[in-house]
Amino acid sequence: AQSVTQLGSHVSVSEGALVLLRCNYSSSVPPYLFWYVQYPNQGLQLLLKYTSAATLVKGINGFEAEFKKSETSFHLTKPSAHMSDAAEYFCAVSDSGSGYSTLTFGKGTMLLVSP
Amino acid sequence: DTGVSQDPRHKITKRGQNVTFRCDPISEHNRLYWYRQTLGQGPEFLTYFQNEAQLEKSRLLSDRFSAERPKGSFSTLEIQRTEQGDSAMYLCASTTGTSGRADTQYFGPGTRLTVL
């Protein structure tokens, strides 16, 4: 079975600083990996996904993530944090099914951005 | 473009009561998923529909839970005899189903259930 580990339940950065949110996965098949963001009282919004094409994936709002098979990692980065980036971020792996996808999520990382 | 909608957004009920939630997926999406999210956790898969057929159910979906998707459009999730442990955010997601495991799941805003 697939699993996802997100290191750090909370990450604090200053506005303008680098954002790094860590995600490690376990998968018995070549993984498809996703990063979602959740703002308070809202559903999840896709930031980016890795589907075995380019290992460096660019997403919305200036975020990107790099797939590293040797490290089983898919860390999310943004060069310069903005106050509006404060939210909870979830890494997920797509479970293998009969042609469909159920997602297994990590526990999430809350990003706090201070002025 | 209308996204996934869920109703109600919040539900407070007493232990032992039945509750029903509704999800309206994006209109052209034939696949629909239900997840449950408890405090401090990521969403956990509950069940999956392709059109009107319920194709998979998680072990989390006890006998008190039932889900339907009549005519392959909206879906309902019913919880009978609610327990305090059912308190959670219930999320619905839909996909086109055209990319298999690479499908992007589009999530609704969720229904937050509080069982007193």
β-partners of residue A57 are A65
| Closest CA of chain A from B95, distance in Å | 9
Q: Is A44 on the interface with B (CB under 8 A)?
A: yes
Tokens of A100: 């469909």
The pLDDT value recorded for residue A98 is 56
Task: Summarize the confidence of residues B70-99 as an average pLDDT.
Answer: 93
Nearest by CB to residue A43, choosing from B48, B50, B110, is B110
Tell me the pLDDT tens digit for each residue of B10-40: 999 999 999 999 999 999 899 999 999 998 8
User: Cβ separation of B91 and A41 shorter than 8 Å?
Assistant: no
User: Cβ separation of B107 and A105 shorter than 8 Å?
Assistant: no
User: Mean pLDDT by 10-residue block, N- to C-terminus, for chain A (115 residues)?
Assistant: 91 97 90 93 92 90 95 97 96 75 92 96
User: Cβ separation of B100 and A104 shorter than 8 Å?
Assistant: no
Dihedral angle at the C-alpha atoms of B103, A110, A2, B91, nearest 10 degrees? -50
Strand-by-strand arrangement of the B65-68 sheet = B5-7, B19-24, B75-79, B65-68
| Closest CA of chain A from B81, distance in Å | 26
